[in-house]
Structure 1
C-alpha cells in the first residue's frame, strides 16, 4: 500500500522484503482463517439443521488435508492477484529481496550494504507472541500461522488466550472435531462489552469448548502423549497440542532502530505521531509494527497516509475514532466507537440500549436468536457514541453504526433511517 501510493505520487520506490511477498492478511491471517471458518461453518449448519422441524442433516470432516490445501490454493492465488501481479504495473517500483536494517551510523542497509534512500517507511508487521512461561521453549507449540497449516487434526488442543485470535481458532478446531479447551486469564474477548463477552462464552460452551480461567501460568511441559499446562493455583490441563494465541508483537527488533533515532514502546511498537512520522524526521511507520489497530484495512490506511506525507509533503492525519472491528466467531462480534465503560471514563453522561436477538423477527425466522445489540449514546445530545453487535451476521451490520458515528447522528436519527 505504501509503495503503490508513493509511486503514484511520483516517487522512485524500493520495496524491500526478506520473506514471503505480501502481508499478514493474505498469507497467514484473514484469508486462511476465514476460509477455514467458512469450511467448518458448513459442518455446524448441518449438525443444527434439526432446529427446523422436519429437517435432518449431518456432516463430517473426511479429508482435512484437502480442506487445508484448498485454503492454501486461495492464499497463493490472492498473493499473486494482490501483490506479485500488481507490482510490475509500476515502472517506478523496484522489489528487492533482502534484509533491511539500519547501520550503527543510522543509514539504511540491505544485506549489510548501505542503501541510499531519502525517505523510509517501515511496514514490517507483527508476529505471534510467545509468552514467558517456564518450559515453553521445550514444547512443540502451534501459533496462528502453523495451526492453519495442520494437515492432520489432533484429538485434543489447549488454546492459550481468548482474544479474537484464540476464539476464532478454538471454534475452527472444535467444529472440525477436536476436543478444545480455551484457557485465559480474563475470559473471552475481555475488551468487548461484558454482555457480549458473557453471551459468547456461553455459546462457545454450548458447542463443547471447555473454558478455563487461570490466574497465572506456572509451567508447561512436553510428554510423549500430551502437553501439560500447570496454573499457579495448582491446576493442570493436558492435551495433544498447545496453541498459543496470546497476541502479536511488532517486528521491530533486529532493525537497529535506536541507531536511526527511532523510539519504540514497551511492546516494541514503533512510536509515531498523528502523521505516522517517527522520531526521525525522514522515517515513517505504518501497520502492525506500530503496535496499534492491527487490522488490514487500518494498516493500508496508515500506509497511504505515511506515503503521502513522506513523498508529497502533505500533513494527513491518522484518525481511528470511527474504526469498525470484527471478530469472526459464530456468532460474529463487531463494534465501533467507545464502549459503555470507555464513555463513562471519558466523562460522558450516557444512556445505553441492549436488544437481545430474540426480539428480532429475522433472527426468529432463522431459528437462531444467539446474540444481542448494544448501543451507547450521550444522554443530552442523544448522539451515538458506540455500538457492539453479537449476531450470526454481525459483521455485515456494524458499518451502518460506523457511518452513523462518522456523520454524528443521534440514535433517533439512526432509528428514523429506512433500512431493508
Structure 2
C-alpha cells in the first residue's frame, strides 16, 4: 500500500478530483482519499513511479509527497525528474538543486506564478522594470474603481430616485483630496499584496531592471542601478502586461493627451473632456469624469460596445445621454491639434473643442523590448504572445500569462493563468478553461456578460433560443426605483442548456457569477428557473428571466416559485 500526504485540499469534493486523477495513472488499481486526514492510500502495481502519482496531484493545484518523505523537493523527486527531462542544471545559481524559474513582470499573473512555483519547490527570479504590482493595483482596476465609486456618490447627491423625500445637495468636488485618498489605498494594497510578500519570501529574488532574451535558456537584465546581469533559467514565464494603445491620428503625438494612466492621477477635473474610444476603459472613465463635473463627449468609431450584443450598447448609450454625456456614434478623429490650452479635434461632422482629451482605444501587449525572436517565442499581429491552454509558448520551457498574451485581458484570468503556468512549469499538467469567463464593466448601470451572445452562437453554428427580461419585472429594481436595463438569457436549442447571459443593470457584476456557475454546471434553463433565489435581490432576475421561457412573469406574484 502506497500512501501520499496531500496538502491544499479545501473540502470533501476535492477528494473526488484527487481520486479520479490518481486512478487515471497507469499502474494504480485503486485510491482512497481522505480530506480530514490529508492523505491518499493507493493500491498500485509494482514499479509504478511515485513521481507520476505526485504529478497527478500537483496537476490539480495541490501538493503531495510520499508519507515519510519531505514535502519540499528532494533528490530524485518530481522537480529533479523535471530538470532531467529538460536537460537543465542549476544555471541560475539558485542553489540547492531546485528548479530555477525566471518571471518577467510583477503583476497579477507574475505574482500568482511566482508564489505557486515556490510552493511547488522551485526558486524564482522575478524581474520588474517598473512599479511592483503591475497594472491592476497601480493604474488599472483599483484606482479606477475608487474614482468610479466617488463619482457615483457625487451623482447620487445631485440626483436620485428619492429626491422628493431626500432633497439633493450637489457636492463640491475636491479632486485633489479624492486623489490623495485614492492613491493612499493604492499604495496600501501594493505594499500589502505585492511588495511585502516579495520581501518576505526567501525563495524569490527580485531584480529591478529590463529583461531581454539572449536565447531560449537565458536573459540579460539591464539593472536600474547600473550594470547588467545574466539570468539563466530552467523555465521562464513572460508576464509583462500591456499598456494603453495609441492610434495613429495625425497630430495626436504632438499634444498633451491623456491615456487612462494620466487620467486616473489627474488632480483636476477638466471642464470639457473629449474621449476617443468606445469600450470598457473609455466608457468607465467618461462617466466618472462626467459625474465629477466634466462636460463629456465620446467619439465612437462605431457604437458603444460594438463587439457585444447590440442591446448592450443601446442601453448604455441611452443611459449616458440621459446624464448629459454626448455620444457621437460612427465618428472618427481625422486630425488633432492643441493650441491656446485647448484641443481641436477634426471629425467628419466638424470640429470639437475640449480642454482635455482622453485616448482609450485598447491596450497593447508589452512585448517589443523582450527580443522574443531570440528565444523562438511567436507573437500574433498585435504583438501578443501566442499560448496554448497550458500557457506554453512556441518555445520549449518558456510560458506566458496575462495581458501580454492572446488571452482575455482580465486580471483574474491573468492570475489563474499564472498559477496554472507555474504548475505546468514544475511538472504538473493543467489547463485554463475560459468557456465561462465572466466580464464586468463598471458603468452605471453596470454591464456584465458570460458565455456567448446570440450572434456568437449563430456564428459557431449553434441554434439558440433566448429571452430578454426588462428590469421593471425585477422586484429589487422596482424597490430601488431604478428599472433601467435588462437581463438576457441565451440557451442552446435542443439541449436547453444555458450558454450565455448578458445583463445591463445596477450591480450586474454581482449577479453574473451565478450565471457563470450555471453555465459551468451545464444547467438547463428549466433547472435554473427551479432554483431558490433570495427575494429582493438583483440576482433573482436570473430566475425570473429563466421563467419567461415558459411563463408570463407579469402574471406571477412577487416571489412566486
Q: Which runs of 4+ in 1 moved over 6 A?
A: none
What is the aligned partner in structure 2 of residue 399 from structure 1? Answer: 513
Out of 248, 252, 262, which is 2:363 matched to? 248
Q: Are positions 1:124 and 2:235 aligned together? A: no
- 1:39 paired with 2:39, answer no
Structure 1 length-normalised TM? 0.97
Q: Is the 8 A contact 1:160 1:243 kept in 2?
A: yes
- Per the TM alignment, residue 104 of structure 1 is displaced from its structure 2 partner at its CA by 6.6
Paired with 2:317 and 2:161, the residues of 1 have a C-alpha distance of 23
After superposition, give the CA deviation of every residue in 1:292-350 in whole Å (9 maximum; x if it has no partner).
Answer: 31111000000111111012x12211211011000000000001000010011111111
Matched, 1:281 2:396: yes
Structure 1: how far apart are the matches of 2:161 and 2:512?
Answer: 30
Is the aligned partner of 1:315 residue 2:426? no
- Name whichever of 44-53 and 388-397 sits farther off: 44-53
The corresponding residue for 1:264 is 379
Q: Which region of structure 1 is more displaced relative to structure 2, 96-105 or 248-257?
A: 96-105
Could you say which residue in structure 2 is the equivalent of 1:345? Answer: 459
CA separation in 1, counterparts of 2:454 and 2:350?
A: 34
- Deviation at residue 89 of structure 1 after TM alignment: 3.4
Measure how far apart 1:218 and its partner are: 1.6
- State how far apart, in whole Å, the 2-side matches of 1:194 and 1:50 are: 27
Once the two structures are superposed, what CA deviation does each residue of 1:241-261 show, in whole Å capped at 9, x if it has no partner? 110100000000111101110
TM-score normalised to structure 2 length:
0.73
Note the 1:4-403 alignment, pairs <5 A.
4-49=115-160, 51=162, 53-103=164-214, 107-111=218-222, 112-231=228-347, 233=348, 235-311=350-426, 313-403=427-517
Q: Secondary structure, in 3 states, of the residue corresponding to 1:49? A: coil
CA distance in 2, matches of 1:137, 1:11: 45
Paired residue secondary structure (2:501): strand
Q: Does the aligned pair in 1 maintain the 2:219–2:231 contact within 8 Å?
A: yes
Listed as ranges, the gaps of 5+ residues in structure 2 are 1-111, 223-227, 535-561
Aligned partner of residue 500 in structure 2, secondary structure:
strand
CA distance in 2, matches of 1:229, 1:85: 45
CA–CA distance in structure 2, aligned partners of residues 412 and 197 of structure 1: 29
CA deviation string 1:214-248 (max 9, x = no partner): 454321111113111112x3522110111010000
Further displaced range: 53-62 or 82-91: 53-62
Structure 1: where are the runs of 5+ without partners? none
Give distance in 2, aligned partners of 1:372 and 1:280: 46
- Taking the aligned partners of 2:297 and 2:402, their CA distance within structure 1 comes to 32
User: CA RMSD for the aligned pairs?
Assistant: 1.4
Instruction: Write the distance in 2 (CA, Å) between the matches of 1:78 and 1:104.
Output: 36
Aligned residues: 418
CA deviation map 1:360-404 (0-9, x unaligned): 121111111111001000121110010011111101000110000
- What secondary structure, in the 3-state scheme, does the structure 2 residue paired with 1:85 have? helix
* Structure 2 SS opposite 1:412: helix
Partners of 1:50 and 1:57 within 8 A in 2: no
SS in 1 for 2:369: coil
Q: Give the Cα separation in 1 of the matches to 2:161 and 2:365.
A: 46
1:2 aligns with 2:113: yes
2:331–2:349 Cα contact (<8 Å) kept: no
Q: Distance in 2 between matches of 1:61 and 1:413?
A: 50
Whole-Å Cα distance in 2 between the matches of residues 188 and 389 of structure 1? 15
| Residues in 2 aligned to 1:101 and 1:131: alpha-carbon distance in whole angstroms | 26
Distance 1:234 1:346 in 2: 37
Q: CA deviation at 1:98?
A: 1.4
Question: Using the alignment, how far apart are the partners of 1:378 and 1:15 within structure 2?
Answer: 45
Secondary structure of the structure 2 residue equivalent to 1:236 = strand
Which region of structure 1 is more displaced relative to structure 2, 43-52 or 76-85? 43-52
1:123-175 Cα shifts (integer Å, max 9, x gaps): 00000001011111101010111101010111111110010100000001000
SS of 1:86's equivalent?
helix
Q: Quick one: distance in 2 between partners of 1:31 and 1:68?
A: 12
> Is the contact made by 1:61 and 1:176 (CA closer than 8 Å) also made in structure 2?
no
Q: Distance in 2 between matches of 1:105 and 1:287?
A: 20
Give 3-state SS (helix, strand or coil) of 2:212's partner.
Answer: strand
Shift of 1:30: 0.7
SS of structure 2 residue aligned to 1:205: helix
Q: Secondary structure at the match of 1:98?
A: strand
Aligned pair in 2 of structure 1 residues 50, 344: CA closer, same or farther (>3 Å)? closer
Distance 1:153 1:217 in 2: 23
